[in-house]
């Protein structure tokens, strides 16, 4: 099984209901910490849920750093792992992560089995979460909150820090999810699945987070 095969099956089988929900955004390759780490598939609705795929053809070399970064931002996370990696991957996966084991049948059909249910992340970092916003988005939020005009001309790092320090995390989490879902175009956006189960070609976005 290749990563691409697992990804397509995950969209069709596990995430099918999310694709049909108008209030849910499903993305491939969501960048965290200014793109230093990318979530294989992200689901944005009442939670920010990331799926990390480690097929049998992958290695686990980057998993520890990915787990650490995901833990700063995501509400929920699930490792989708091939059978040969399961035992080696478990020590790296926190208790709040879910684990789905992916297997291929004799005719090539891919199936998923839950080995560990996901829970809520207890350690989200407000600054890392704020960094999901593009600069115009954080400026707009701060304008709505009547931040000093001089502040809005500062570098984006200053804006993220101010937002993280002045907005309670319980309010910041839904605020950022709302902004993510409101973006007109996304690189990696997955449109709804067709009746045949395959996705419509993904539009290319030229937007940038600057």
Going through 37-134 in order, the beta strands assigned E by DSSP cover 37-44, 48-54, 76-82, 98-104, 110-116
3-state SS assignment for residue 187: coil
- Judge whether 197 lies within some domain: no
Q: What is the pLDDT of residues 122-166, one digit of tens each?
A: 999 999 999 999 999 999 999 999 999 999 999 999 999 999 999
Q: What is the pLDDT of residues 15-44, one digit of tens each?
A: 999 998 999 999 999 999 998 999 999 999
Structural domain count, the chain: 2
Does residue 134 share a domain with residue 104? no
- Judge whether 18 lies within some domain: yes
Q: What is the pTM of this model?
A: 0.87
Does residue 34 share a domain with residue 14? yes
Does residue 112 share a domain with residue 11? yes
How far apart CA 179 and CA 129 sit, in angstroms, is 12
Dihedral in degrees, nearest 10, Cα atoms 84, 95, 15, 191: -100
Report residue 186's pLDDT band, with 50, 70 and 90 as the boundaries: low
HSE, CB side, 13 Å, CA atoms: give it for residue 197. Answer: 6
pLDDT averaged over the chain? Answer: 88
Does residue 84 share a domain with residue 38? yes
Which residues sit opposite 198 in a β-bridge? none
Does residue 25 share a domain with residue 109? yes
Which residue range is the domain that position 56 belongs to?
A: 3-116
């Amino acid at each position: 099984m290749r990563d691409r095969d697992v990804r397509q099956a995950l969209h069709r089988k596990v995430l099918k209901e999310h694709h049909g929900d108008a209030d849910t955004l499903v993305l491939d390759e969501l960048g965290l910490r200014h793109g230093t780490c990318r979530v294989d598939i992200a689901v944005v609705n009442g939670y920010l849920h990331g799926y990390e795929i480690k097929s049998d053809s992958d290695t686990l070399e980057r998993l520890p750093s990915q787990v650490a970064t995901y833990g700063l931002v995501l509400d929920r996370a699930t490792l989708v792992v091939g059978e040969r990696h399961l035992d080696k991957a478990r020590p790296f996966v926190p208790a709040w992560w879910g684990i789905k084991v992916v297997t291929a049948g004799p005719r090539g059909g891919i199936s998923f089995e839950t080995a560990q249910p996901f829970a809520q992340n207890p350690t989200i970092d407000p600054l890392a979460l704020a960094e999901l916003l593009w600069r115009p988005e954080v400026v707009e939020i701060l304008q709505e909150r009547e931040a000093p005009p001089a502040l809005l001309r500062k570098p984006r790092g200053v804006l993220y820090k101010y937002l993280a320090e002045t907005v309670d995390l319980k309010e910041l989490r839904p605020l950022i999810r709302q902004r993510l879902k409101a973006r007109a175009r996304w690189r990696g956006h997955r449109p709804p699945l067709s009746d045949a189960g395959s996705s419509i070609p993904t539009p290319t976005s030229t937007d940038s987070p600057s």
